[in-house]
Amino acid sequence: MIGLRTLRAVAMTAATLGGLSGALVGLLTEQGRRARVAIGVLEHLWPAPDSVYRDDGRDPLRLAVLGDSMAVGVGVTHPSQLPGALLAQALAEEAERPVRLSTYAISGSTTRDLVPQVDAAVRDAPQVALIIIGANDVTSRMAVGESARLLAEQVRRLRAVGCGVVVGTCPDLGTVRPIPQPLRSVGHHYSLRLAAAQAEAVRRAGGVPVSLANLLAPEFTARHVDMFSSDRFHPSAVGYEAATGVLLAPLCQVAGLWPGWCTPAVPLRSAAALAVRTSRVPGWLQRRHA
């Protein structure tokens, strides 16, 4: 979800929220260092699962996947579990036709890094594109307004070539347990601000935003052992399955497979998620930065 070497920047981002004391910034920075130590190292980094799914010789629907490590699928233990593969297979089943998957996403990317990814994608004339981006914008301290503006520019470029675009907005960094409090609350607050700005920018640019934070955070919080990979940082195969579950319907919509479909207000929750109260930014942080 976010790069380990830039995790310290989450702490520094707190200073940009306005007027934190030097002692508190020092505390958050130290917590970032400890989180980097606590987060594990993944053994499996799989190549992109680019292929034609359900190939029967007919002209395939062209699907492009762009963004960061969550779009790549860092954290799974088998290539069949990669989100691009899951979505391409599901789209092929819904469309009852082949789907050609092309992955341009690169782990560690920020929204600035979408430019060369979109450059490459538009040359291949995709019909449907999925972008997952935002977590590294938080850790690299990119301004929310700039991040949303840059994202909208790339969505417009894809829409200009006739491509339907779905954007999975910034996930909730407050679900990552190796990040201690209050640093985790800072990441939670900042990632939700970014996700809201992304959603508005994507709509105005003609894309369909999907709030990964709102839709997935309750499950990732309640079932963290299942939802996170062995590094306790990136999603596991179960986590990616949950993410693709909320992304498939919007992709079917922009592909013209489900005309008239609209995003449900609240997804289905597990009993574990329903038993957990929604996390909140601590009152002291809300008051200080209101």
Instruction: Check: CB of residue 126 under 8 Å from CB of residue 102.
Output: yes
Average pLDDT, the chain: 80
pLDDT in tens, 115-174: 999 999 999 999 999 999 998 998 888 999 999 999 999 999 999 999 999 999 999 888
Catalytic residues: 69, 231, 234
Task: Answer yes or no: is pLDDT of 243 > 70.
Answer: yes
If pLDDT is split at 50, 70 and 90, which confidence band does 77 have?
Answer: confident
DSSP character string of 181-205 = TTHHHHHHHHHHHHHHHHHHHHHHT
CA distance 245 to 115: 27
Could you identify the residue written with the tokens 């929204």?
Answer: 111
Q: Is the dihedral of CA 171, 262, 118, 83 positive or negative?
A: positive
Contact between 129 and 160 under an 8 Å Cβ cutoff? The reply is no
Question: Nearest CA to 240 among 269, 214, 219?
Answer: 219
Tens digit of each residue's pLDDT (9 = 90 or more) over 194-238: 999 999 999 999 999 999 989 988 887 888 778 886 676 688 888
The Cα 219–Cα 237 span in angstroms is 14
CATH class of 4-289: alpha beta
What would you measure as the largest C-alpha separation in the chain, in angstroms? 64
Residues 6+ apart with CB under 8 A from 22: none
Q: Is 219:246 a contact under the CB 8 Å cutoff?
A: no
As a whole number, mean pLDDT of residues 61-90 equals: 94
Sheet order of strands, 164-168 included: 52-53, 99-103, 61-67, 128-132, 164-168, 208-210
- The pLDDT value recorded for residue 261 is 64
- Report residue 262's pLDDT band, with 50, 70 and 90 as the boundaries: low
Task: Enter the tokens of residue 257.
Answer: 């497979």
